[in-house]
Amino acid sequence: MATYCGRCAPTQLRRCQRAAAAQLAALRAKGYTLVINLAPPQSYGSLPEEGGLVGREGIAYVNIPVDFEHPSADDFELFQRILSARAQDKVLVHCQLNYRASSFVFLYRAIYEHVAPLE
């Protein structure tokens, strides 16, 4: 499976679609300390053991199960609180197709990092 990932320079954020087990296991070597998964656990192609995979690598894991059709302000509020608390960490944010991840990262960067929308 090819995984699309995009870097949000100059921050420590990276966003992508669902990642394969081997990709998750390699995150520690790349300096990641937190993975945020925005897809519900029952999403097609999800890894039920994802939290355990990254946990064994010493990486923190948070699942915020955002409904694709109805993302909520509460979902985003939780997301921003987690990112704000881990502002110095290198963070991977992902979902199934990178739509939720891209949207949440865009909003976070625009609202809290004051990045212009075209950057």
**pLDDT average, residue stretch 24-30:** 85
Q: Which fold has domain 5-112?
A: Protein-Tyrosine Phosphatase; Chain A (3.90.190)
Q: In the chain, where are the structural domains located?
A: 5-112
**pLDDT tens for each residue of 32-64:** 999 999 999 888 878 888 889 889 999 999 999
This prediction has a pTM of 0.84
What's the rounded Cα separation, in Å, for the pair 75 and 53? 24
Predicted confidence band of residue 66 (pLDDT cuts 50, 70, 90): very high
What's the rounded Cα separation, in Å, for the pair 84 and 63? 16
In this structure, what token pair is assigned to residue 28? 């520690």
Nearest-5° Cα angle at 74, 10 to 19: 50
pLDDT value for 62: 96
Helix (H, G, I), strand (E, B) or coil at 58: coil
